[in-house]
Amino acid sequence: MLYFVHSVVDQLDKSHYYWYSFVKLLDDTQIITFDLALQGMKRQLHNTIALILWLLSSQAAYGKAGYDGASDSTKYRQKDVVDIFRKGSVGHNPDKGASMKGNGPFISIMPVIGYSLQSGLTGAIVSNTSFYTGESRAKFSNLILNGYYSQYHQYWFTANSNIFLERQKIHLFGDIRYYNFPTQTFGFGTQSSMSDALDIKYSYLRFYQYIFREIMPNLFAGIGFNLDHHWNIRVDSIPGKVLNDLKKYQKSDHSSSSGVSVNVMFDSRQNAVNPGNGSYAYFQFRPNMTLLGSDSNWQSVMIDLRHYFHFPASSRNVLAIWNYDNFTTRGIPPYLDIPSIGWDYYSNTGRGYIPGRYTGRNFLYLESEYRFALTRNGLLGGVVFVNEESFFKNWSNRRTPIPGGGLGIRIKINKFSNTNLAIDYGFGEEGSRGFFFNLGEVF
């Protein structure tokens, strides 16, 4: 086990070179401090993985005893919920296993009910449509459409697209959202308390669209347009640090950040909805400009690194490692556009905390998740996960990361696209906790 832990950290070392090159956009002092921060997070990753493997030692021993889980899809007919409730339905015969005919689309739609401290009871309709665009079936394309309504009268809609045009070697990526969102904010940094909460309400439109060209196998480069627009911003006038932080960056009851971004992406995963192996790396430089409608000129750098591998190697179980970072490199952004937990592309960072619980000009995030099968037919699975996040204004005042963790179950919704319904229970400091739902894996 210790050998394996060291090998995972070695994998992080290999990606360190590319990460280091990206960060050369920052000044030399920042690079040195960033490297020290990375070394600390690598040590934390060592402990994280050791904990996961200890919790799941029975699973590892099961695999070493000769269980060839990787071939379960051929030894045992794969099943999903459609097989259970609609046995023998047209176009979805449970006796035919999970072999695919044609390029799709493979559509999954699911009503879910969840609960979190921020939104209370929440009802949602979530959908995932996966398909291939070429006969080679090199990569799945997918479209995720979700709608939510909570007992606190929050409602929001999201549309995420990830489309590979194989013949043209083009990748299209989109993220569109609308929120009407009474919620709370807690000010900058990780030293805030739940008692510091300040009520805030706003409407929000996000419009991100990117086009990439494949320049070599699995490596894409492209440009995009990013718009974040908030309006009808209403904040409680309770004096204190949180209100002072907000007023420093939020100058009126509306704000806009708009810019053209430069993007580089490496993606060796075949199926982004449920990766079994491969790697993903994404780099974005985003200059927001008043020329394009932004309230101010400010810049950010975003880095997203992920790696997946089977453990034990002969099983279908997957160990997934995710690093997500967002740095404000220049200028003063509006308060609601500053990096915050739970506001990444798919709103998945920081399970165990409500979105917006921690905010800061610079954001470092690390998560590990172990995914394992509970049934040989693929219908049920489980996960355990741990994460750490750190927010800070300057590299010199980076504080101890905030931990989170939890566990969850996976229910196969569509065996052809390998789409799972993810139901997770996460927890963090100060009693923070809640259920988190996803159609597809969290990362």
Q: Which residues contact 440 (CB under 8 A, 6 or more apart)?
A: 128, 142, 144, 273, 274, 419, 420, 422
pLDDT digits (tens, 9 = 90+) for 343-365: 888 889 999 998 889 999 999 99
- Give 392's strand partners: 362
pLDDT digits (tens, 9 = 90+) for 194-210: 888 899 999 999 999 99
Measured distance CA(438)–CA(105) in Å, rounded: 19
Structural domain spans, the chain: 2-439
The pLDDT value recorded for residue 93 is 53
Name the pLDDT band for 293 (thresholds 50, 70, 90). very high
- DSSP class of residue 425? E
The type of residue at 324 is Y
The pLDDT value recorded for residue 115 is 75
Record the tokens describing residue 310, joined without a space.
Answer: 């089977």
The reported pTM is: 0.80
CATH of 2-439, one of 3.40.50.12500, 3.40.50.300, 3.40.50.620, 2.40.160.50: 2.40.160.50
Neighbours of 440 (CB within 10 A): 26
- Give 91's strand partners: none
Name the pLDDT band for 20 (thresholds 50, 70, 90). very low
pLDDT cut 90: percent of the chain above it: 48
Measured distance CA(319)–CA(39) in Å, rounded: 21
